Structure 1
Amino acid sequence: MSTVLSRAQVDAFWRDGVLTVPDAVTSDQLARLNADLASWVEDSRAHSAPFGPPTLDERPRFDMGAEHTPEHPALRRVNNPSDISDAYLEVMTDARTVDMIADLLGPNLKFHHCKINVKLPGARTEVAYHQDFAYTPHTNDDVVTALLMLDDVTEENGCLMVVPGTHKGPIFSLFKDGVFTGRMADDIESDMLERQIPVTGKAGSVCLMHTRLAHGSAANRSERPRGLYICVYTAADAVPIARNPMPNPNEGRIVRGAASPTARMIPLEVELPKQPKSASFFTVQGQASAAAE
């Protein structure tokens, strides 16, 4: 099996829980991804509430923040774009990013879900601290997210912020007083904010992130957009123990190697999430979607 990542890069990922790699897709792939995203942003100007061909669980495909207007669109989420775009499907199944995941998790990989998170200029979208595993628990934690940078990503336009090493620590609750808030408690988040580091890079770079790594991000304070194409992959023997928050026709698709006849279990305990019924998880964290008057 050919490898993309060096031994040093693989070791750095397992040490820190995060690794950024440049030139993860071709220039043609990046251009096609951005062309489709630009068309969806343009389409959003004609809508005043979440819209689009529904996802597998009948939620809107496209979600905008409450600040959205035709003049200043605030499209913030495209759910499972690989369902509706050949460009996004190609990158999800057969880009260098997938080979990088195989270098980390082994030769047998399957796909879980994907999305685009967008922070357009003037939008107020932010992400409170959380760990993805608490949204998508599996029988083991060989689960890696590939966050492909569609734009140059900087601290000013709302880059991902992470706390290296937290993938080796506890799985923090995303509940408050019995309600699933999708975010860590305030005191824990304050600690994370004191220790966080930025994940920046040029368009076409990818951030590979362990499912248990603590992360969040601030709003875009610049005049440049920040888009991420986010694909979640698992080892073939990692079996979900909660419903996919973003069900899709490709869930469980083997993208490298072969399917596993067994489920590999590791000792862990995790609260079962309350999956969102709204257009995106941003509402779970308290950020309202645009609403038609």
Structure 2
Amino acid sequence: MRSKSFSSVVKKYKAVLLDSYGVIKNHHGVIMGAANTIEKLRADGKLIRILTNDASKTAAKQVEQFRRLGLKDVVEEEIITSGMMAKHYLQSKKTKGLIAYLGTPAAAQDILDAGMSTIHISEVNGDNIDSIGAMVYLDDEGFDWNKDINRSLNLLRHRSIPAVVANSDQIYPVSRNEVSIATGGIAKLVEATLGREFIHFGKPDSQMFMHAFVQLNAEKKIEKSDILMVGDTLHTDILGGNKFGISTALVLSGNTRTANVKVNIKATGIIPDFICDSIAT
């Protein structure tokens, strides 16, 4: 499959779903040319949603970060995070008791904003363990890796409660050639150790795509054939878009690189409709 310019690919679509890290921004800041592309998409009347598996910040905090990076027109309604999906699940289940979480207090803000009470996993002990109603994996920061992952494991050994993973990403890039273990990777370790199935939110699962689809149709009539999902990761962005039945474009500005794109597609069997160097092309 040959690389095409993003500008030629996106022409026929009415709505564009963009991954955040690796598509719009990276560890340096906004990816070169991404801001201009987003500006042109708006000028052309295309609806935009940013779908991110980053559960470490609320949509409002994501907007603040984008604006600090120079993307002044991004609004809260355009951002859909995996943390939001986890919050909706906990609300719908009317979860009783404290929500124990692994991550930073900022990552737990969505849950707090929904009126639920939280407790950091480091504070769970024999005196309060029976009051825990769910365990949520939110972020790969804000806890002691030597102690708190084990605390979450032992909580789930002793309590038959839902275990929710708000970010299914197993790794994320920290530089051009290096990655770090993400929340999904931590949760996967605990899942495998316990032999349990956790409840996962974020791409590639369908909840975020359905949420975006409903939102878009609240603005104007949109069919699935009108939507393009743009991402840098086969297992999340592209697989999720494919499963939801929308067109997908893999960009080579993040997790997937030109040198290994063909091998990765062949090895995974996850095939995007298009490949582009970046959204700036």
Larger Rg: 2
| Structure showing the higher helix proportion among its residues | 2
State whether TM-score is above 0.5.
Answer: no
Calculate the TM-score normalised by the size of structure 2.
0.22
